[in-house]
Amino acid sequence: MGRETEIRARYSETDQMGIIYHANYFSWFEIGRTDFLRQMGMSYRGMEEKNILLPVIDVGCKYIIAAKYDDEIIIKTRITQLKGVKIQFNYELYRKNDNILLAEGHTLHAFVDKSLKPINFRKKHKDIWESLNKNLE
C-alpha cells in the first residue's frame, strides 16, 4: 500500500561533496509523507488547521548511494505503525532513471495539539484514525 511521489533534487540541496546534503533527505521524507496523506484524500495542512500536529520524535536514515543534483527521485512512503498517540512512516528513495534504491528511513511522530500536548488521536479523530489504519502495513 506504499504510495509514490516524484521530486527532482535541487541545486540548493547539494553540498560541496557534490551530493545531496544528508539532512535534506528528511525534508524529502516530509514531502512523501504529506503527499501520502493527500493521495488518501487528507491534507496535513487541514489537519494542522484542526489543531492536529505531527511533530517528529524519532528518525533514522540509511544512505546507500548518494543522490545528486537534478536526479529525479521516487519517494515510496508507507505507514508502518499506528498506536494511540504515535504514527510511523517508512520511506524508500529510488533514482528514477535506473530504479536503484538510494536510501531508506523512517520518521516516528506524536499526535499533539498546538500547545504540543499529546492527544488521544484514535478517540478524538476516529474517522481520520480509521483511514490511516486502513493504510497500515
Task: Give how many residues touch its own copies by CB under 8 A.
Answer: 37
Of the two residues 27 and 120, which places its CB atom closer to its own copies in the complex? 27
CA angle 122, 127, 133 (to 5 degrees): 65
Min dist. Cβ of residue 71 to its own copies (A):
9
113 is a catalytic site residue: no
> Residues 12, 98, 123, 127: which binds its own copies (CB under 8 A)?
12
Q: Is 22 left (phi over 0), alpha (psi -120 to 50) or beta?
A: alpha
- Which listed residue (15, 58, 70, 113) is catalytic? 15
Q: Is 34 in the site for its own copies (CB under 8 A)?
A: yes
* Element at 29 (helix H, strand E): helix 24-39
Q: Is 134 in the site for its own copies (CB under 8 A)?
A: no
Residue 7 β-bridge partners: 73
Q: Cα torsion for 7, 9, 12, 16, to the nearest 10°? A: 160
Q: How far apart are CA 129 and CA 53, in angstroms?
A: 14
Q: Which three cell numbers stand for residue 102?
A: 538510494
Q: Is 116 in the site for its own copies (CB under 8 A)?
A: yes
Q: Is 136 in the site for its own copies (CB under 8 A)?
A: no
Q: How many residues does the chain have?
A: 137
Of the two residues 11 and 137, which places its CB atom closer to its own copies in the complex? 11
- Binding stretches for its own copies (CB under 8 A): 10-12, 14-19, 21-24, 26-27, 30-31, 34, 43-45, 48, 53, 55-63, 66, 69-70, 107, 116
* Catalytic residue positions, numbered: 15
